[in-house]
A and B are shown apart, each in its own frame.
Chain A
Amino acid sequence: MLEVDVTTSLGALTISAAIRADSGITAIFGPSGAGKTTLVNMLAGLHRPEQGRIMVGGKVLFDSQQQIDLPPEQRRLGYVFQESRLFPHMTVADNLSYGRRLVPKGVAGADYDAVVGLLALTPLLDRRPKTLSGGERQRVAIGRALLAAPRLLLMDEPLANLDVPRRAEILPFIESLRREFGLSIIYVSHNMDEIVRLADQLVVMAEGAVVAQGPMAEITARLDLRPLTGRWDAGAVLSTKVAAQDERDQLTRLSFQGGDLWLPRLDLAIGAPLQIRVRARDVSLALTAPEDISVLNVFAGEVMEVGEDDGPQVDVLVDIGSRLWARITKRSQRELAILPGRKVHVLIKAMAVDRSGLG
């Protein structure tokens, strides 16, 4: 879908990124100043790389060797900015149609009514951007980009200016974009909760360089990336499917590679895919299978890696079919001799799984 290999310098920082992304949602994660926005601007044609090549869906947008450098209007990459950038002198309807009128003949664009319906924009059509809330503005901005029939949608911290309830309001819309329109998205964020919920693939950037890229679960399980990804309350990502609903006990069973997980009831259909984040501090370890305890989720596994940390605690990577992080004290680690290869039992408290990471 996307093949990028570009270099540019921005002041003292050299940004050099080689990325391959498949279709779906690819998150670019990193601290501020890592060069995420500059990378996206290079894709969009708003910042010219010193050298390199950008290819989207088989079409070369930039190639310094062949001297190809398409202007932004010919790249057809939808861009949703952090500050929605709606045109203040136009109504919502005119904003939405702006790019739609410019779609080249022969390119199938998204259906106007479908986009307006999906993003719930019908009641807003006659209004001016000034009268909209932050969340409404971002929805219009997403719709406007979508209607320009983009090859790929770029989203640069689209939720950063919104408060938490508004974010929760927009996230389902972004999730549905891929589902309804089969659109691939590059999603820039420094918020791991959003990324866990949305992304299939993760690109980690730091100081202008790509440190790691790959499937979400794989990248979040890597210990060497902990200094970067660990900034957000460390944890591992599990890809699950809703397997069953227990109405009596108000619980939901999620199945994943390695077993079944019981969580407080989620309002989702059976079979719905769901990525969840299990925080390391909500996972404990035991040497023997515990009996008569209140914890619902117990899995047998094997220790793969033990982290090094200056503090009193240590993170342990355990393979239970999928990979999970457990955060335990150094004393427990010593007394239980938790070392790579050790067979352990992993305990996850059902109530602990962070709801903000859930769909």
Chain B
Amino acid sequence: MLSPLEIEALSLSLKVSLWAVAWSLVPGVAIAWLLARREFPGKALLDGIVHLPLVLPPVALGYLLLVLFGRHGPVGAWLHDWFGLNLVFSWRGAAVAAAVMAFPLLVRAVRLSMEAVDQRLETAARTLGAKPARVFFTITLPLTSPGILTGVLLAFIRCLGEFGATITFAANVPGETRTLPLALYTALQVPDGEASATRLAVISVVLAIAALVASQYLARQVARRIGLA
């Protein structure tokens, strides 16, 4: 049904997106908590930086990543020297690009959900003898779980569609960084590529819809399980 090249692009897309979301999850929840529950100098700046990928052209962001994480960039050189890691031309680079692009969506969803958690419940837990860390893990986090789930799925869908930052930063390497959108773009660059481009577009649409439906279903299930809906 699917050609080997299509399967390669599809599985690469899933792999890159999964890793991107996995890397973003803990820092995403931590930053959402900082923004939702803490007051500190530079909060507005942090908020701005987190949201930058939403407003910046993806290509510009990809270029910024290249400057920072490229072989001679400050972070890239360090990663190469210490860990032998190369992000450019590698699926890891594609995942970093996707993660950065999807990060604001994740943080936003978690933050909104966390702000909706009744802080009076957290105080009640304190009076029952719970230290702040225990309150976070037993009250705040479980009650935020529908928002975390929504954020994760939104970010995942956003990662599946990532194009501009990925092609600029990680380039278009078959089997390494050529995800579905990149494969679709490549198909359009060759003569008589419309047929395979159409097939890739259909795959993308089906994948996106499936992820959206799954996200809504899961969010409802989780909300019901924690007694909110």
The answer to whether A89 touches B127 (Cβ under 8 A) is no
The answer to whether B139 touches A87 (Cβ under 8 A) is yes
Task: Give chain B's interface residues, CB within 8 Å of chain A.
Answer: 118, 120-121, 123-131, 134, 138-139, 142-143, 226-228
The answer to whether B127 touches A88 (Cβ under 8 A) is no
A-B contact pairs, 12 of them (CB 8 A): A45-B126, A72-B126, A73-B126, A73-B128, A85-B121, A87-B125, A89-B142, A89-B226, A99-B129, A129-B227, A145-B127, A148-B128
The answer to whether B125 touches A98 (Cβ under 8 A) is yes
With A77-B127, A85-B118 known, 16 other A-B pairs at CB within 8 A are: A46-B123, A46-B126, A46-B127, A71-B126, A71-B131, A73-B131, A78-B127, A79-B124, A79-B127, A81-B120, A88-B228, A89-B143, A99-B129, A102-B134, A103-B129, A145-B128
A247 to B228, CA, bound (A): 53
Is A128 located at the chain interface by the 8 A CB criterion?
yes
The answer to whether B129 touches A73 (Cβ under 8 A) is yes
Residues of A near B227 (CB, < 8 A) are 88-90, 128-130
Is A69 located at the chain interface by the 8 A CB criterion?
no
A72 to B134, CA, bound (A): 13
Q: Which residues in chain A, 55-77, are within 8 Å of chain B measured between CB atoms?
A: 71-73, 75-77
A178 to B70, CA, bound (A): 71
A197 to B131, CA, bound (A): 36
The answer to whether A72 touches B123 (Cβ under 8 A) is yes
Number of residue pairs spanning A and B whose beta carbons lie under 8 angstroms apart: 68
The answer to whether A89 touches B129 (Cβ under 8 A) is no
A71 to B123, CA, bound (A): 11
The answer to whether A98 touches B228 (Cβ under 8 A) is no
Interface residues on A, range: 20 to 34
A216 to B175, CA, bound (A): 83
Binary interface encoding of chain A residues 30-57 relative to chain B, with 1 for a CB under 8 A from any of its CBs, else 0: 0000000000000011100000000000
Residues of A near B139 (CB, < 8 A) are 87
A71 to B134, CA, bound (A): 14
CB-CB nearest in chain B for A147: B128
| Residue among B120, B121, B129 with max Cβ neighbours from chain A (10 Å) | B129
The answer to whether B130 touches A102 (Cβ under 8 A) is yes
| Residue among A71, A89, A129 with max Cβ neighbours from chain B (10 Å) | A89
CB-based closest 5 A-B pairs: A99-B128, A102-B129, A89-B226, A85-B124, A72-B126
Known contacts A88-B143, A89-B143; decide if A81 and B226 are in contact (CB<8 Å).
Answer: no
A98 to B137, CA, bound (A): 13
- Smallest CB–CB gap between B56 and chain A, Å? 37
Residues of A near B126 (CB, < 8 A) are 45-46, 71-73
The answer to whether B128 touches A98 (Cβ under 8 A) is yes
Is A83 located at the chain interface by the 8 A CB criterion?
yes
Is A190 located at the chain interface by the 8 A CB criterion?
no
- Smallest CB–CB gap between A76 and chain B, Å? 7
A98 to B124, CA, bound (A): 11
- Smallest CB–CB gap between B122 and chain A, Å? 10
A301 to B170, CA, bound (A): 99
- Smallest CB–CB gap between B219 and chain A, Å? 15
- Smallest CB–CB gap between B63 and chain A, Å? 44
Residues of A near B131 (CB, < 8 A) are 71, 73
Is A279 located at the chain interface by the 8 A CB criterion?
no
A295 to B44, CA, bound (A): 75
Residues of B near A148 (CB, < 8 A) are 127-129
CB-CB nearest in chain A for B135: A73
Residues of A near B120 (CB, < 8 A) are 81, 83, 85
A83 to B126, CA, bound (A): 16
CB-CB nearest in chain A for B134: A102
- Smallest CB–CB gap between B136 and chain A, Å? 13
